[in-house]
Amino acid sequence: MPTEAVVDLRSDTVTRPTAAMWEAMRAAPLGDDVLGDEPTVAALEARIARVLGKEAAVFVPSGTMANQLAIRVACGPGDEIVAHEDSHIIHYETGAPAALSGAMVRTVRGASGLFDADDVRAAIRTRNVHHPVSRMLVAENTQNRGGGTVWAMDRWQRVAAAGREGGLHVHVDGARLFNAFVAAGYAPEAFARHADSLSVCFSKGLGCPVGSALAGTAAFIERARRFRKMFGGGMRQSGLLAAAALHALDHHVERLAQDHANARTLAEGIAGIAGLRPIVEPARTPTNMVFFDVDPSACTGPELCARLEGRGVRMIALDPQRVRAVTHLDVDAAGIARAVDALRQVMRP
Ligand SMILES: *Cc1c(COP(=O)(O)O)cnc(C)c1O
């Protein structure tokens, strides 16, 4: 398998289904989800709703669709979303809040992609004919560009309460929500209670080929289902994919701790190489993501990644001097050692 030859740390989306996951997919009973009789999709949706303590959930092709359905249901043209300036919905969803919902985003700032209740309160508009209508708060857990950071429960509670008191729909972009649960140790339901809707992704840390879900009230999800069809996300024998997700929920959640340990080892290795600096202190690497800066006197991020590629190690340059590596279930401790070794060699003066 190519994943054995190459240590691919570009993203946790690059994983291939395990043999056991393929088996679960093969064995799944299938129907037609658009016609409303897909038993495996229905089982997954019920499971996600239960895990997060919500009334309902809907299975969708991507995390982007899950977030954008939530935005489309919560917002209309001229409405405003409060979100951190480093949010995925701003940087990596092709301008969809504006394109699909006519909504604009008012940004807040804060270290590591997190912020405080006061930031939310300050961002909520007063009612005035000149202003957009503040309608929604979107927070990421884990926060991707902040370094895979996790919301502490008390801070999250205060932030979400500030949003709700200001009349905002509180949405969590939980592409790596299970990483957050494993790292923080809080119960999914205890965290999700403070949100009105949450997206979760099965193709990130959980190791599935495709799929995300959006959870919320039954009425909210019913409207999201309609927009899913409108946006072209109605799928047929999607139980194949839902079976992979159900398998991952059973077998790939607790093991995320191993990815987090590997990320920490990687960050420690990087910190020991002259010219490289992790953005988070290695001992405090929160989850499965390692972002680090490359000293411009050595090379640029893209140059570093090109040199690594020649040594069978893949990472992504996000900014001219910033590189990202993400650990996942197809990279073990030996792979991490190879990655650190390759970095040491390409950075040798
Ligand atoms: C990956 C990701 C998404 C969704 O991405 P898709 O590629 O559309 O599945 C959303 N939010 C965050 C924080 C992500 O990392």
* 38 CA to centre of ligand 1 in angstroms: 25
Structural domain includes residue 4: no
Of the pLDDT bands very low, low, confident and very high (cuts 50, 70, 90), residue 5 is: confident
Query: What CATH number is given to the structural domain containing 277?
Result: 3.90.1150.10
* 298 CA to centre of ligand 1 in angstroms: 31
- pLDDT for 131 beyond 60: yes
Domain encompassing residue 331: 255-346
Query: What CATH number is given to the structural domain containing 208?
Result: 3.40.640.10
Ligand 1 within 6 A of 287 CB?
A: no
Determine which residue's CA is closest to atom 5 belonging to ligand 1. Answer: 63
Structural domain includes residue 10: no
DSSP string across 180-229: HHHHH---HHHHHTT-SEEEEESSSTT--SS-EEEEE-HHHHHHHHHHHH
Based on the domain organization, do 158 and 238 belong to the same domain?
yes
Ligand 1 within 6 A of 11 CB?
A: no
- Other beta carbons less than 10 A from residue 232's beta carbon: 9
Residue 40, both tokens: 């495996």
Of the pLDDT bands very low, low, confident and very high (cuts 50, 70, 90), residue 4 is: low
Count up the domains in the chain and report the number: 2
Read off the pTM: 0.97
The DSSP secondary-structure symbol of 143 reads B
Based on the domain organization, do 243 and 272 belong to the same domain?
no
Structural domain includes residue 86: yes
- What pLDDT digit, counting tens, does each position of 268-313 carry? 999 999 999 999 999 999 999 999 999 999 999 999 999 999 999 9
Taking the C-alpha atoms of residue 167 and residue 305, their distance in angstroms, rounded to an integer, is 45
Of the pLDDT bands very low, low, confident and very high (cuts 50, 70, 90), residue 68 is: very high
pLDDT at 181: 98
Based on the domain organization, do 52 and 116 belong to the same domain?
yes
- Which is the closest atom of ligand 1 to the Cα of 144? 13
Ligand 1 within 6 A of 140 CB?
A: yes
Residue 35, both tokens: 């016609």
